[in-house]
Chain A
C-alpha cells in the first residue's frame, strides 16, 4: 500500500457542528501532516506529528484539533468552524528520518470541506 487515504472526500457542515476528518497510511511512515489548501493557492501547513507526538502547530485556531491515535492514523477534529475555513484539507506522510526520505511527502487526495 503506497497511498495516503482520506475520508470523507467531501464534507458540508454548519458553524455549530462537530465533525472529523480522517487520514490513514500503511507505508510505515512516522511523520504525518495536515495542510490546508484554498483554491488556486499552495498548501499551507497546519500540523505535524512525528512518532505520534505533535511537533509543529502553525498557530492554528483551536477550533481545529488534531489527533494521532497511532502511527497509521491521523484525525482532524472540527468544531465551531467559520465559512472562511472552507478549503481542501490535505493529509500527508513521510518516511522516518533514517530512511533518507524524511522530507519526501506523500499526499492524500484531500477532504473538501464546506462550512455554511
Chain B
C-alpha cells in the first residue's frame, strides 16, 4: 500500500537550532517525493521536490531509497519557518499529480 508517514505531529526548536522533519514512505514503484508547506493563513505551497535537488529557504531533502526516507533538514531554524509541513508522494510516471500526503508536522521555532 502507498503510504507516507511523518512520525512527529509537533517539532519545537529554538531559533538557530538545526531542524529535521522526518518522512518515510512505502511505495512499490518509482515515487516522486515532495515537501509542501502551509504557513498560518496562507495557501499550501510547494517547498521542495526530490528530483530538483535544490535548496529552498535553506531547506534541503535527500531521497534515500534504501531507507525509504525523504527527511527535510535545515541547519539553522528561523522564526519564520514556523508552519505545517507535509511530505507527499506521487507516482513518478503519473500523468496527473495524484498526491498522497503524510499527516503533517507542525514546526514551531521559538525565539
Contact = CB atoms under 8 A, between A and B. Distances in A.
Interface of A: 31, 33, 40-45, 48, 50, 55-56, 90, 92, 94, 97, 102-110
Given A104-B46, A104-B49, A109-B43, A42 B98 contact: no
Contact of A43 (B32, B46, B101): B101
Interface string B66-102: 0000000000000000000010001110111111011
Given A41-B103, A42-B86, A107 B98 contact: no
B11 interface: no
A27 B86 CA distance: 24
Most buried by B among A33, A40, A103, A108: A103
Interface of B: 32, 34, 42-46, 49, 86, 90-92, 94-99, 101-104
Contacts of B103: 41-42
Contact of A50 (B44, B45, B92, B96): B96
Contacts of B86: 42-43
Contacts of A92: 97
B68 to A, nearest CB: 18
Contacts of B92: 103
Contact of A105 (B46, B91, B104): B46
